[in-house]
Amino acid sequence: AGRHPGRAPRWREGCSVKITRIRLEQFKQFRKPVEITGLTDGINLFTGPNEAGKSTIVAAVRAAFFERH
């Protein structure tokens, strides 16, 4: 109900987004595809050595949801 062709649905209270995997390609240092699977409900932590790309992954998710394309 309330759907219009060509228009994205409005967010409604109680709606949520569940990310189950992340795939990056051609984003900053990730030239070749990299995929992170197995994300679960709740908080998922990314750990790794310096310069492994943890902040880049967060930047990619932020860009996908909040930046204009």
Q: How far apart are CA 15 and CA 11, in angstroms?
A: 7
> Per residue of the chain (69 residues), what is the pLDDT tens digit?
556 666 666 656 677 788 899 998 888 888 899 899 999 998 999 899 998 888 988 998 899 888 886
pLDDT at 53: 87
Q: How far apart are CA 68 and CA 2, in angstroms?
A: 24
| pTM over 0.85, yes/no | no
